[in-house]
Chains A and B, each alone.
Chain A
Amino acid sequence: MRLALAEIRHEKGRFASIVASLALITFLVLTLSALSDGLFYGSTGAIRSSNASAYAFDSQASGSLVRSQLPATDVAKFAAQPGVEKASPVGVLLTSGTGPDGMLDLAVFGVESDGVGVPASVSQGRLPNAGSNEAAVDSRLTKDGVKLGSTITVGTTPVTVVGITPDTAYQLQPSLWTSVTNWRAMQEQVRPETRGQNGLISAVALQLAKGTEPASVALPNTTVLSSDATGLAIPGVEQQRSTLNSIIYTTILVSAIVVALFFALLVLEKRELFAALKALGTSTWKLAKSVIFQAFVASVLGLVLGIVISRLVGLVLPATVPTLFRTESTVSVGIFIVISGLLGAAFSLRRIAKIDPATALGGQL
């Protein structure tokens, strides 16, 4: 190891270049993964943070809350299904409204505060009371000047904010949680074509008994999906995820190749020295360990630097870029980068093993 460290100290420029490459690759991967997480969390918050374990949609809706329409009478029918502990109506409307600082994009959810399908936690205030003109809103709206007591108007229906809920965005729009009655009023005001659809809601939120298969409680012409599946069924979520993930994996593969080439060149250049060291009685394993150790040091330094860069860049990214830096993602990216660095270096081991100590004599090299 002393040999490995001495070489890094002596060849600072060289190792700086591999550390810089790995730092940039780490930065790229972390930013992509933050974007992937940001899109995923921003799209699915309202579903992930709800207290429902499953959602029922009409069969033609492909699991989309926005597309689905069910008769309100289905709520009682679902509640009567074996395995269903609780069922509540959910109405969804993607629209815009007016807040204290101007126009807001909104995902309006019509829910029953004492039912299922509402945010499981509230960071400030409370959920709206039934039959009131109250609403709880996603914490993202606080950036737009919304606070407890603010009034938000959708169509011609004003609601007063009484609660703030964390991580409850839907399709990258902050959510507004109010009663089913208010939701219906808002929908009729901004979408006149929905007037007269009093008997319709978007979906039914379900609390299933433990171990109940979502599909087993479906009524005719309905589809029941678990909350996780509902999140993934949101248009674009799965596609964005798989696209970004494949870019991330490709980039990590590139980092392995960069490390492999770097150490292959380094070993090639040190063939004569390695032959001499072997002749002096250094085992192949000892030389291999020193190369692996150098790859480890370079990967870890590159990783740390990459994390710092991505955090700094994250600070200056405009808020409209939906990035989310999660510790779990950073840790898994870190593990991947270090492992790919070690695997890259491992490609040189065969080359090291093949160096013949006898070539140290006679100057054949």
Chain B
Amino acid sequence: MAPILRVSHVTKTYGEGHTAVTAVADASMEVNEGEFVSLLGPSGSGKTTLISMIGGLLSPTSGSIMLGDVEVSALSPKNLTSLRAHRVGFVFQSANLVPFLTAKENLLYVATLADKLSRKDASKRADMLLEELELSDRRGNVPEQLSGGERQRVAIGRALMNDPDLILVDEPTAALDTKLGRQVVQLLAKEVKSRGKTGVMVTHDLRMVEYTDRTFEILDGELSDAHAPNASAH
């Protein structure tokens, strides 16, 4: 399968001169269509910086990032906003749902950003996703009426809503206990795989990498080669 995400020699440096800090140094990675990979590293390792650049939230200092045939690293801020709305789905650490919208409305909101579906089709798709995520009876509830796990499931639905090419997941278990965290990652892996989507999950939790196809490790900004999770020495 062809790589849909190609990161080539990407470096991100903050500051200038001798106070410059290199967050990501000459990172290269490829992710194939339909793969769900993890990016494993402790806090401060540069994993968030790398995934932010992949998602078009930060521009690399040098190097290039290709999403399909689009060079993400060359887009203007305006085009990046559009790229994120249309082609990237995000799952944040703490769900970050709109607190005054219901579960379903949170899904519909991102549909209006991409503006790909008619109102009726968007409503149908949101119902379908919520059903799959076992949230049908919670669709009319606002986030404060949902448990942490339910919120994170709504966030997964939101990330899938616009049928993106790439789903980026940032420490999805940070706000959850281990058991719930596992369930969420398991569900995430299932959703990504069953739809043939491509996903990159950032985590510091080694226990979560077993649900992904491959793992990249990052330490002090240095990205090491991929290896199969089962072959991991840990």
Binding site for B on A (CB under 8 A): 2-3, 6-7, 9-11, 272-273, 276-283, 357-358, 360-363
Contacts and interface: CB of A to CB of B under 8 A. Distances in A.
Interface residues of B, number: 37
A363 B171 contact: yes
A361 B110 contact: no
A281 B92 contact: no
27 contacts: A3-B109, A6-B101, A6-B105, A10-B99, A273-B96, A273-B98, A276-B92, A278-B81, A279-B57, A281-B82, A281-B83, A281-B85, A281-B88, A281-B110, A281-B113, A282-B85, A282-B113, A357-B84, A358-B57, A360-B57, A360-B92, A361-B52, A361-B57, A362-B49, A362-B52, A362-B171, A363-B171
A2 B119 CA distance: 13
B221 interface: no
Interface in B30-79: 48-49, 51-52, 55, 57-58, 78
Contacts of A10: 99-100, 142
Interface in B164-179: 168, 170-171, 174
Contacts of B158: 280
B101 A3 contact: yes
Contacts of B105: 6
Shortest 9 CB-CB contacts between residues of A and residues of B: A281-B85, A10-B100, A362-B48, A276-B96, A358-B57, A281-B84, A281-B113, A7-B100, A361-B170
Contacts of A6: 98, 100-101, 105
Contacts of A276: 90, 92, 96
A206 to B, nearest CB: 67
A11 B100 contact: yes
Contact of A280 (B52, B90, B99): B90
B46 to A, nearest CB: 10
Contacts of B58: 358
A283 B83 CA distance: 11
B76 to A, nearest CB: 12
B22 interface: no
B136 interface: no
Contacts of B98: 3, 6, 273, 277
Nearest to A272: B96
Contacts of B139: none
B187 interface: no
Nearest to A9: B100
Given A273-B99, A358-B57, A363 B94 contact: yes
A114 B87 CA distance: 85
A213 B31 CA distance: 87
Contact of A362 (B84, B100, B101, B170): B170
Nearest to A6: B100
Contacts of B57: 279, 357-358, 360-361
B120 to A, nearest CB: 16
A282 B114 CA distance: 9
A283 B76 CA distance: 13
B81 A281 contact: yes
A281 to B, nearest CB: 3
A2 B98 CA distance: 12
B86 interface: yes
A282 B85 CA distance: 7
Which of A10, A279, A283, A361 has the most chain B CB atoms inside 10 A of its CB?
A361
B93 interface: yes
A266 to B, nearest CB: 12
Contacts of B174: 363
Contacts of B85: 280-282
A276 B94 CA distance: 10
Nearest to A4: B100
A308 B96 CA distance: 40
Contacts of A7: 100
Interface in B97-134: 98-101, 105, 109-110, 112-114
Nearest to A277: B98
Contacts of B93: 361-363
Given A362-B93, A363-B170, 8 more contacts: A3-B98, A7-B100, A280-B85, A280-B90, A281-B81, A283-B81, A360-B57, A361-B48
B102 to A, nearest CB: 9
Nearest to B162: A281
Contacts of A362: 48-49, 52, 93, 170-171
Contacts of A361: 48, 51-52, 55, 57, 90, 92-93, 168, 170, 202
Given A6-B101, A280-B110, A282-B113, A360 B96 contact: yes
Nearest to A363: B93
A279 B101 contact: no
Contacts of A273: 96, 98-99
Contacts of A2: 109, 112
A282 B113 CA distance: 6
B153 to A, nearest CB: 17
Given A3-B109, A11-B100, A281 B86 contact: yes
Contacts of B101: 3, 6
